[in-house]
Amino acid sequence: MNKILSVIFFSFITFLSNAQAFISMEVVEIQNQNEAEAIYYFQNNWEQLRIAAKKQNYIDSYTWYVEGKNQRIYLITNFGNIENWEKREENFGLLIKEAGPLKLLNEKQPSEFRKSIDHSIKNMTSQ
């Protein structure tokens, strides 16, 4: 798993053009073979929040990757600078409030189809 994470992480970093990058990466395990539920959830909630955050300049970029073999989803957000990083809870709180209730495929709750197994934060600021 570490090898996969490193490849994804460093591939993403290669595309960054900023001198600063505050990156959050979460690894989510799909539970009970609920891949359709999990993908729907991340497309209609996580990704939509990132689209809105990018429009508001709360983040610089984001990406996500589904690894079907191991039933994992990798979620990566680049906050770009320390100000956005430090205000992430406040900024995303506003976006979550605006977005309204979670969009779910079959009314299964997130705990039924996904489990966070790793979360890392990297400060990639150039020296």
pLDDT in tens, 7-35: 555 555 545 444 578 899 999 999 999 99
pLDDT band at 117 (very low <50, low <70, confident <90, very high): very high
Tell me what pLDDT residue 42 has. Answer: 98
Contacts of 56 (CB under 8 A, 6+ apart): 91, 95
**Rounded distance between C-alpha atoms, residue 115 and residue 118, angstroms:** 9
**Rounded distance between C-alpha atoms, residue 6 and residue 11, angstroms:** 8
88 phi and psi, to 5 degrees? -60, -45
* Range 80-90 average pLDDT: 94
| Whole-number Cα distances in Å, 54 to 6, 50, 51 | 24, 6, 5
Tell me what pLDDT residue 3 has. Answer: 55
* Range 80-96 average pLDDT: 96
What is the layout of strands, in order, in the sheet containing 22-30?
61-67, 72-78, 22-30, 114-123
Asked if residues 29 and 115 have their Cβ atoms less than 8 Å apart, the reply is yes
Q: What is the mean pLDDT of the chain?
A: 88
Domains of the chain: 2-123 (3.30.70.100)
pLDDT band at 127 (very low <50, low <70, confident <90, very high): very low
Render pLDDT for 51-70 as a digit per residue (tens, 0 to 9). Answer: 999 999 999 999 999 998 88
